[in-house]
Amino acid sequence: MPVKLNNNAASRLASSLTAGATSLSVTPGEGSKFPTPTGGDWFPVTLLKSSGQFEITRCTARAGDVLTVTRGQEGTAAIPFDAGDRVELRITAAAFAEYIQGSAFFKTLADDADAATARATLGAQASDATLTALAGLVTAANQMIYSTGEDTFAMTSLTAFARTLLDDADAAAARVTLGVVDAAQCTAWVNFNGTGVVYIRHSYNVSSVTDINTGRYNVNFSSAMVNTNYVTSGSCGDGDTTTSSGRFVKIGLPETDGAGICIISDAGSFADTSHISLEFFGGK
């Protein structure tokens, strides 16, 4: 409901006015000096006696020289007036407050006394050097912010892979993410039968065993070692614990992708045997 204003809108009462009257007439022909409020618009009208007494009213309609008013506004009392008393459109406190355009929320901000109060109204915090410094950064995909000093920041890469590590709950989870194997754990092992049609009973991190010749094999790792400093241990036998004859495992030079081994008999020759177990530690 906006306030309607006209400049220099002033006239006089054409006739006396009782305290309870809600319409007044101004000097004939001078009604057009005043706005014509419609649809809830209004303008303030001050009635002023020669004695200095006055009353503020609110005009909500005008038809020619007749103004429809609501009496006794803004703390003033409705009093009678005489013909010839002044009728003027004067800016009042209520009119000025109404004239501030904007939402109800905006008006709660407009009347704040200072910045601190305005921030409280807005729910905002005071300017902060840290936030200002952060606001100066130009962010990009896969970048993270880090501090280089008090209230100074810079950007550095944060790859998708790094994020999979950051969300790990503990060291064990991090090792899994990194593919790092605990030094105490076996990095590969295999149990196979070296007789007949050679077959593998079970294995870990072994993609295949190559049957090269009698008693000679190569163990191929699924995931290559990162170095050749790993430990190889093994045992072999034919399942017979009633005789003292036996065989032993001889290891060849280790490679990152596999290890050669052979089975040697008591007689010092290559030999096939039914139970060959090999374990590898380290190399990761």
Partner 1 sequence: MDSRIVYQLPDQPTAVLIPCECGLTLEQIGQKDVPDGVPFWIVPADSIPTGRTFRDAWELDVSSMGEPSGFGGAA
Written as six digits, the tokens of 10 are 């002033």
Contact status: 267 vs partner 1 (CB under 8 A) = no
- Whether residue 37 contacts residue 44, with contact meaning beta carbons closer than 8 Å, is answered with no
Residues 245-264 that bind partner 1 (CB under 8 A): 257-258
Give the angle subtended at the CA of 102 by the CAs of 96 and 108, to the nearest 5°: 80
What does the angle CA 13 – CA 95 – CA 56 come to, to the nearest 5 degrees?
35
265 is an interface residue for partner 1 by CB under 8 A: no
Looking at beta carbons only, is 87 or 206 nearer to partner 1? 206
Q: Does 207 bind partner 1 (CB under 8 A)?
A: yes
The 3-state DSSP class for residue 104 equals helix
* Beta-bridge mates of residue 11: 87
Residue 272 found at the interface with partner 1 (CB under 8 A) = yes
C-alpha dihedral, 235 to 241 to 242 to 243, nearest 10°: 0
User: DSSP class of residue 4?
Assistant: P
Q: Cβ closer to partner 1: 113 or 253?
A: 253
Please identify which residue in 38, 185, 222, 233 interacts with partner 1, judged by CB under 8 A.
222
Candidate list 104, 138, 183, 197; residue touching partner 1; CB under 8 A? 197
Smallest separation (angstroms) from partner 1 to the CB of 275: 15
> What single-letter amino acid sits at 24?
L
Spatial separation of the C-alpha atoms in residues 218 and 113, rounded to whole Å: 86
Give the whole-angstrom CA distance, residue 278 versus residue 234: 4
Residue 106 has which token pair?
């905006």
- The residue (of 21 and 200) whose beta carbon lies closer to partner 1 is 200
Residue from the set 96, 212, 256, 269 that interacts with partner 1 by CB under 8 A: 212
Region of 48-56, 119-127, 157-165, 197-205 interacting with partner 1 (CB under 8 A):
197-205
269 binds partner 1 (CB under 8 A): no
Which of 127, 139, 213, 245 lies at the binding interface for partner 1 (CB under 8 A)?
Answer: 213
Binding residues (CB under 8 A) for partner 1: these are 190, 192, 195-200, 203, 205-214, 220, 222, 257-258, 272
